[in-house]
């Protein structure tokens, strides 16, 4: 997955996330990503590239008097880093790269009249540096938060700028200054030639979830009667129909269908390209992923239907998915209980885990507030303790931005800020439940 954005100085910046096929330990990581000045006697070419493109600043007292990266006399990029003898796994999803002291095998360079060591090196990949001879910051991320970071770039929109118009010698700053979209010449060239701005792999197919006869339809005065009599097929009703006609489909869960079928002309049809599935002639597999639209827990019927769609193989109708051991349940919630999906808070833990992988901390706090109010949690304190770091992540980043020179971690103060936000959300929803929950930082 990647997204391209333009800086106001005109150059493009690409944020690219690549999946690694296997788990990487810190010893192997040093072969892929470096944060040190190379040995000039071993690889002079790489040494020159790193010196030209991958040294931050240096900034701060004793170096540059005015630096764009500084706020309140502190580097917002948190340079210089500290010396580390061996690469270590970091708590926040980013490792601490090896940065050896000059007395321990590290090298130094002279840059703009200053002696610079490994504390100022931006992490890089030696292969990419030699290939492109440009600034390319490479980081190893073992957390799903990196994906959410890129998704924010996709949706944040174009740059904006303030500009003013002046006619004659009159000046009215309030009325003449406007905020508008800013497009540099480089971005204009990129868009005119139709180069891609975003890309992701594998493809994601969104799957509908709705109650019986509850699908969304668009109608006019002339088409309302016809659409009411013959509602449009959705990916969900099409899945039920597919399970009635296709034997292989009966072995699949709803989210697995896009890997083997294509939604075309309001019907699921078998893929014509991909890997052959052993034992099932004519069935082909593709890496395409299916994602069912999220449903808030306070929409009880639809939420429990979505839960069943992730657990029941090959249902043929709404009634079929409510049937457990030959008994037709009155509600989807009852069917979940009969399948033992709601015996404890494990399902709500799975709901929180899914939210953590997709949503911002503010959204996760709102989800937790909904669970507190409407889902009869058996042990809300346990859920809080499990996911309190994810619900407090934005407050941690704010604290780190205020003190970039310090190693700021999660504290009771940060957790309490998250709890206060959750309490406000619960009160806005019309209830007060914290006396019962006894949640603490």
| Residues 218 and 330 both lie in one domain | yes
Torsion angle (degrees, nearest 10) of CA 30, 33, 35, 41: 70
Torsion angle (degrees, nearest 10) of CA 268, 272, 277, 281: 90
| Residues 234 and 293 both lie in one domain | yes
| Residues 316 and 364 both lie in one domain | no
- Residue 97 sits at the vertex; the CA angle it makes with 96 and 98, to the nearest 5 degrees, is 125
Q: Is residue 6 part of a domain?
A: no
What is the rounded average pLDDT of the residues 287-292?
92
Please tell me the predicted confidence (pLDDT) of residue 143.
65
| Residues 268 and 318 both lie in one domain | yes
**DSSP secondary-structure letter at 298?**
T
As given in the structure block, the two tokens for residue 329 are 């349940």
pLDDT above 80 for 397: yes
Q: Which residues pair with 160 in a beta bridge?
A: 181
Q: CA–CA separation, 126 vs 108, rounded Å? A: 18
**298-356 residue pLDDT tens:** 888 999 999 999 999 999 999 999 999 999 999 998 999 899 888 777 888 888 988 88
**60-106 residue pLDDT tens:** 777 776 777 877 777 888 888 989 999 887 665 678 899 999 999 99
Better-scored residue on pLDDT, 3 or 151: 3
Please tell me the predicted confidence (pLDDT) of residue 275.
93
Give residue 436's pLDDT band: very low, low, confident or very high (50, 70, 90).
Answer: very low
Give residue 147's pLDDT band: very low, low, confident or very high (50, 70, 90).
Answer: low
Please tell me the predicted confidence (pLDDT) of residue 435.
43
Q: Is residue 218 part of a domain?
A: yes
| Residues 215 and 306 both lie in one domain | yes
The answer to whether the beta carbons of residues 309 and 290 sit under 8 Å apart is no
Burial (CB count <10 Å: 0-12, 13-18, 19+), residue 119: middle
| Residues 219 and 248 both lie in one domain | yes
| Residues 125 and 74 both lie in one domain | yes
Residue 291, helix vs strand vs coil: strand
| Residues 306 and 217 both lie in one domain | yes
Please tell me the predicted confidence (pLDDT) of residue 177.
56
CB atoms within 10 A of CB 129: 22
Domain span at 372: 355-437
| Residues 93 and 120 both lie in one domain | yes
Torsion angle (degrees, nearest 10) of CA 80, 82, 86, 87: -60
Q: CA–CA separation, 131 vs 138, rounded Å? A: 14
Q: Is residue 168 part of a domain?
A: no
What share of the chain in percent tops pLDDT 70?
Answer: 86
Specify the residue for token string 């969900």.
236
pLDDT above 80 for 288: yes
The lowest-confidence range among 9-13, 206-210, 213-217 is: 9-13
Q: Give the closest residue to 308 by CA, choosing from 240, 387, 380.
A: 240
Task: Answer positive or negative: Cα dihedral of 181, 185, 190, 194.
Answer: positive
Domain C-terminal end among 119, 140, 161: 140
What is the rounded average pLDDT of the residues 204-227?
85
Provide the number of structural domains found in the chain.
3
Please tell me the predicted confidence (pLDDT) of residue 414.
92
pLDDT above 90 for 418: yes
Please tell me the predicted confidence (pLDDT) of residue 136.
92
Give residue 165's pLDDT band: very low, low, confident or very high (50, 70, 90).
Answer: low
**20-40 residue pLDDT tens:** 766 677 778 888 899 999 999
Residue 112, helix vs strand vs coil: coil
Please tell me the predicted confidence (pLDDT) of residue 348.
87
What is the rounded average pLDDT of the residues 353-374?
88
pLDDT above 90 for 162: no
The lowest-confidence range among 165-179, 279-293, 390-404 is: 165-179
Q: Give the closest residue to 16 by CA, choosing from 146, 191, 171.
A: 146
């Amino acid at each position: 997955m990647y997204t391209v954005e333009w800086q106001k100085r005109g150059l493009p910046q690409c944020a690219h996330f690549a999946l690694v096929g296997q788990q990487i330990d810190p010893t192997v990581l040093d072969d892929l990503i470096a944060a040190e000045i190379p040995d000039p006697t071993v690889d002079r070419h790489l040494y020159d590239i790193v010196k030209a493109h991958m040294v931050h600043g240096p900034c701060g007292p004793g170096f540059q008097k005015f630096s764009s990266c500084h706020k309140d006399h502190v580097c917002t990029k948190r340079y210089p880093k500290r010396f580390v003898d061996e690469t270590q796994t970091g708590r926040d999803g980013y490792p601490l790269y090896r940065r050896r002291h000059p007395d321990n095998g590290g090298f130094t360079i002279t840059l703009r009249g200053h002696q610079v060591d490994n504390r100022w090196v931006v992490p890089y990949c030696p292969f990419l540096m030699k290939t492109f001879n440009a600034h390319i910051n490479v980081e190893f991320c073992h957390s799903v938060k990196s994906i959410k970071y890129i998704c924010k770039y996709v949706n944040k929109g174009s740059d904006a700028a303030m500009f003013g118009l002046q006619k004659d010698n009159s000046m009215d700053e309030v009325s003449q200054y406007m905020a508008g979209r800013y497009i540099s010449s480089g971005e204009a060239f990129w868009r005119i030639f139709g180069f891609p701005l975003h890309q992701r792999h594998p493809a994601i197919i969104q799957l509908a979830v709705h109650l019986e006869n509850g699908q969304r339809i668009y109608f006019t005065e002339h088409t309302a009667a016809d659409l009411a009599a013959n509602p449009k097929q959705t990916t969900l009703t099409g899945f039920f129909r597919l399970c009635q006609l296709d034997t292989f489909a009966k072995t699949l869960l709803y989210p697995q269908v896009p890997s083997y079928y294509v939604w075309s002309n309001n019907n699921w049809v078998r893929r014509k390209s991909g890997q052959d599935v052993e034992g099932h002639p004519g069935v082909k597999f593709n890496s395409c992923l299916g994602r069912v639209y999220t449903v808030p827990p306070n929409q009880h019927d639809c939420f429990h239907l979505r839960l069943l769609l992730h657990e029941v193989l090959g249902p043929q109708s709404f009634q079929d998915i409510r049937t457990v051991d030959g008994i037709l349940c009155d509600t989807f919630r009852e069917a979940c209980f009969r399948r033992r999906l709601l015996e404890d808070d494990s399902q709500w833990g799975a709901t929180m885990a899914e939210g953590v992988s997709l949503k911002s901390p503010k959204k996760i706090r709102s989800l937790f507030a909904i669970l507190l109010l409407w889902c009869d949690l058996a042990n809300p304190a346990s859920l809080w303790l499990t996911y309190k770091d994810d619900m407090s992540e934005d407050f941690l980043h704010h604290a780190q931005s205020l003190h970039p020179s310090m190693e700021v971690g999660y504290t009771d103060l940060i957790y309490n800020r998250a709890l206060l936000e959750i309490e406000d959300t619960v009160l806005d929803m019309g209830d007060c439940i914290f006396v019962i929950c006894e949640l603490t930082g």
